[in-house]
Amino acid sequence: MKIKVSAIITVYNEKDLVVRSIDSLRNQTLTNIEIVIIDDGSTDGTPEVIEALNEPRIRLIRGDRMGRAAALKLACEKAQGEYIANLDADDIAYPERLRLQAEFLDNHPDCAWVGCGEERRDTQRDEHIDRIYPETDQDIRKQCAKCIPYTHSGITFRKSLIDEGINYDATQPFLIDFEFFLRVAKKYKVANLPQVLACRYVRDESFFQSRFKRSKQNRRLARFGLQSIIWFKLPIWYVAYPLARLVYPYIPESIKRLVRSSNGLAERSN
């Protein structure tokens, strides 16, 4: 039987957390899946912890240190499923996630990518919230000028994208998924499900989170926002959003929550 979904995890030195992510995939209601894990040169025993699970659906690929972008690209190339679902190594997929997203893509052949809402446990902002992203292709495109319109640990997309050469760019230093997403959305329709189907942990201890300052990320987000305006033919006044992104890091957190709410990100406290 053809594999329906390839769930991909890229991991570097997360032996204490990666099992939690893997277990959330092992407990999916959709069972016709594989779990493709790229170990990005871990030195803390992560591969051994994964192998000890003795899960036949896991395909562990051990590599030398290649970086997150290259690891994501490799995971997609190795995937054998009709659809590919990303899950970060310290996050969780709720049990119905893969079934609901696979059903959506089955029923919407014009969509290449579907995300979902997230439970967000953010120790950087001291937040525990549910965040719901815009659902329709049109609203998601508008959101791209303002911020990232999905959660990376909640995306599922067609393997056919990889087959036609649309994949993560191994040269990207950060915001790797958003750069990939924009190239997908330039050519195909995208969507988000309204259900909260993933739990995302944002923490300073994360190796990848710790490498890049928010100021650098916001400058790059501003650049991608401007690119979105051009690619998606958004109104010229949308330029105000990428420009505002440059001062966003200096706004008090209580004001930021109001800004996010007024710009299409529905958030509710847990």
The residue type of 135 is E
Q: Does domain 5-269 have CATH number 3.40.50.12280?
A: no
252, burial (CB in 10 Å: exposed 0-12, middle 13-18, buried 19+): exposed
Q: Which of 76, 81, 87, 79 is nearest to 22 (CA)?
A: 87
CA angle 4, 5, 9 (to 5 degrees): 160
pTM score, whole prediction:
0.90
Number of C-beta neighbours around residue 31 at 10 A: 11
Low-confidence ranges of the chain (pLDDT < 70): 124-125, 203-213, 248-270
pLDDT of res. 207: 45
Kindly report the backbone phi and psi dihedral angles of residue 184, in degrees, each rounded to the nearest multiple of 5, phi listed first. -65, -50
- Whole-angstrom Cα distance, residue 72 to residue 169? 9
- Whole-angstrom Cα distance, residue 36 to residue 83? 12
pLDDT of res. 97: 98
Q: Which residue is it, tokens 């030398």?
A: 64
pLDDT of res. 208: 44
